[in-house]
Amino acid sequence: MFYLHQRAAEVETGIIGTPCCVNNPEKYNYTGNMNSDGQMMASSKPSYFIGKKEDIKAGRLVKSVCGRDVLVLYHQGEFYAMDVRCYHSGGPLHKGDIEEFDGRKCIVCPWHKYKITLAEGEGLYQAVDPFVKPLKPTWCSKGIKQRVHKVTESNGDLYLTLNDSSEAIDSDFYQTEKYRDTFMKEGMKK
């Protein structure tokens, strides 16, 4: 079988993956899309070791993976991952509360209270139809605004697979070098 694992030193530093991931195949863990002989199938995407399940179950984790800053969350028995800065103004989602709106689990940006679904990255808002009396607010979607990523577990180890869709998503704006540098200097302060 073709398994390549993250080096222990990278786990300790919290820096996983680099923009030159292609030149460093030892940073990949190919756990998906294998045929019955254990051979890698061409469509597999690389997954990156992000930590042990028991360590992340304690709450939240921010990792830099292949040049992208990602928030990994554990909530009600599920793991979620998304870009760490809010699509609206770059707010620090790792400091946001998790709440349920209209039956959907969301993270609430601490800066402007934008609600983002954990599973899909949809922006939610409340609206009223002024022509329907009595006025009754309903939850509506702005569409996908926050890039979400996939977390998988294998034998207690957690791996992140980046969403590499070529379609632009609003949160991509805050993954530029300018905002990443600002975040590392200001955003991670507790």
Return the closest-CA partner of residue 99 out of 70, 73, 71: 73
Q: Return the CA Rg of the chain.
A: 18
User: What percent of the chain has a predicted confidence (pLDDT) above 70?
Assistant: 72
Cα–Cα dist 59/51, whole Å = 13
Return the closest-CA partner of residue 83 out of 58, 109, 49: 109
pLDDT tens-digit series, residues 44-57: 789 999 999 988 87
Structure-model confidence comparison of residues 163 and 15, the more confident one: 163
Structure-model confidence comparison of residues 91 and 32, the more confident one: 91
- Which whole number is the average pLDDT over 161-174? 95
What is the three-class DSSP state of 140?
strand
What pLDDT is attached to residue 49? Answer: 96
Please give the model's pTM, rounded to 2 decimal places: 0.74
Which tokens go with 187? 């955003």
